[in-house]
């Protein structure tokens, strides 16, 4: 049995699809579906149970002898969320409780961290997992701080030689894009926001840079195809001896203009891109550059190539966004 928190969310639902394709295991979703269409992310899956987050520990205790791994993707993931108490409750306190449960019950744990932990990037994007290295990072928003808080807590436990789950892995996800992100609204990838403009043969407005080192549209991010993230998680499940905190990007930064242009190209169109002012509230909390250092994951044994931006966007557009069925 695999238990996936945030299993109806973006990355979690893609993980479920991949686990189902392997066959033979019960799949359990821990999530809130609410009143939107988030349920469509798991509508095709053969699911054993859907558990509300407040009941997760009752479920875990009842089924602990059957659980192979807990894949913890659930979080308040909005970088613009301002309720820090809500963020701490969901992203830190719950994660600590799940870590302790997995440790006591010898259940493997893979959890989502974030590239938002790196802040403005002035301290680099090296995933060295020591309390000293992590202390140099300064996240720009409460979401990034909550993920960083948990990473630091685990690093201190490791340094102190405290007990751990039999396998534990944190993944610092960079800018992930792909199907099943539609419920995220303004927090969905720019790819999904460009597509409807391209489909209607309209211009898309990218944010201006407001930074002397980057031209408009020249802001750089490490954009990673969700399928690559899933492949890494499956590889980790196949390699239980691998533990640690790892970046989950491609190692190659690309511009937002490249990304938007690739959407139009996937639809055989000339790019139609304009620029608009970035809201003042975001300008001092904005990552103008991210690029994952991928050496530690490669050194751990993961050797599969990452999908290029153009290939990933072409797949996303042609197989999902521009088809009759957008969902995995």
Q: Which residues belong to the annotated binding site for NADP(+)? A: 10-11, 31-32, 38, 73-77, 90, 147, 176, 184
Distance CA 200, CA 41 (A): 25
Residue pair 116/142 in contact (Cβ under 8 Å)? The answer is no
Residue pair 144/117 in contact (Cβ under 8 Å)? The answer is yes
Structure tokens at 199: 């489909």
CB burial class (10 A; 0-12, 13-18, 19+) of residue 146? buried
- Cβ neighbours of 265 (radius 10 Å): 16
Structure tokens at 31: 């999530």
The number of C-alpha atoms within 13 Å of 206 and in the hemisphere containing its C-beta is 23
Q: Which residues pair with 206 in a beta bridge?
A: 275
**Those residues with Cβ within 8 angstroms of residue 134's Cβ, 6 or more apart along the chain or in another chain:** 117, 148, 151, 152, 155
Q: Which residues pair with 110 in a beta bridge?
A: 71, 169
Binding positions: 10-11, 31-32, 38, 73-77, 90, 147, 175-176, 184, 186, 193, 207-210, 221, 286
Distance CA 175, CA 113 (A): 12
Residues involved in catalysis: 143, 184
Binding positions for substrate: 175, 186, 193, 207-210, 221, 286
DSSP classification of residue 215: -
Distance CA 229, CA 231 (A): 5
Q: 171: helix, coil or strand?
A: strand
């Amino acid at each position: 049995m695999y238990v996936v928190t945030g299993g109806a969310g973006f990355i979690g639902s893609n993980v479920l699809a991949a686990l189902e394709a392997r066959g033979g295991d019960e799949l359990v979703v821990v999530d809130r579906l609410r009143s939107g269409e988030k349920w469509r992310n798991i509508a095709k899956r053969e699911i054993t149970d859907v558990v509300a987050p407040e009941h997760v520990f009752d479920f875990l205790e009842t089924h602990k002898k059957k659980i192979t791994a807990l894949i913890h993707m659930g979080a308040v993931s909005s970088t613009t969320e301002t309720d820090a108490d809500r963020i701490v409750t969901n992203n830190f306190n719950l994660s600590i409780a799940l870590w302790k449960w997995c440790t006591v019950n010898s259940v493997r744990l893979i959890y989502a961290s974030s590239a938002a932990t790196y802040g403005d990037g002035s301290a680099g994007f090296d995933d060295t997992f020591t309390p000293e290295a992590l202390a140099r990072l300064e996240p720009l928003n409460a979401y990034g701080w909550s993920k960083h808080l948990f990473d630091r807590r685990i690093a201190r436990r490791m340094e102190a030689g405290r007990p751990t789950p039999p396998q534990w892995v944190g993944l610092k996800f960079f800018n992930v894009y792909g199907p099943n992100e539609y419920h995220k609204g303004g927090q969905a990838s720019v790819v999904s926001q460009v597509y409807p403009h391209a489909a209607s043969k309209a211009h898309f407005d990218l944010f201006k840079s407001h930074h002397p080192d980057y031209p408009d549209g020249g802001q750089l991010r490490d954009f990673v195809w969700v399928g690559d993230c899933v492949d890494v998680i499956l590889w980790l499940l196949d390699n239980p001896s691998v533990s640690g905190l790892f970046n989950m990007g491609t190692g190659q930064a690309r511009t937002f203009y490249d990304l938007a242009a690739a959407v139009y190209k996937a639809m055989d169109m000339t790019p139609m891109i304009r620029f608009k002012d970035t809201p003042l509230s975001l300008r001092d909390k904005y990552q103008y550059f991210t690029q994952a250092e991928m050496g530690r994951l490669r050194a751990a044994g993961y050797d599969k190539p990452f999908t290029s931006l153009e290939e990933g966007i072409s797949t996303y557009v042609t197989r999902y966004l521009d088809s009759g069925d957008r969902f995995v």
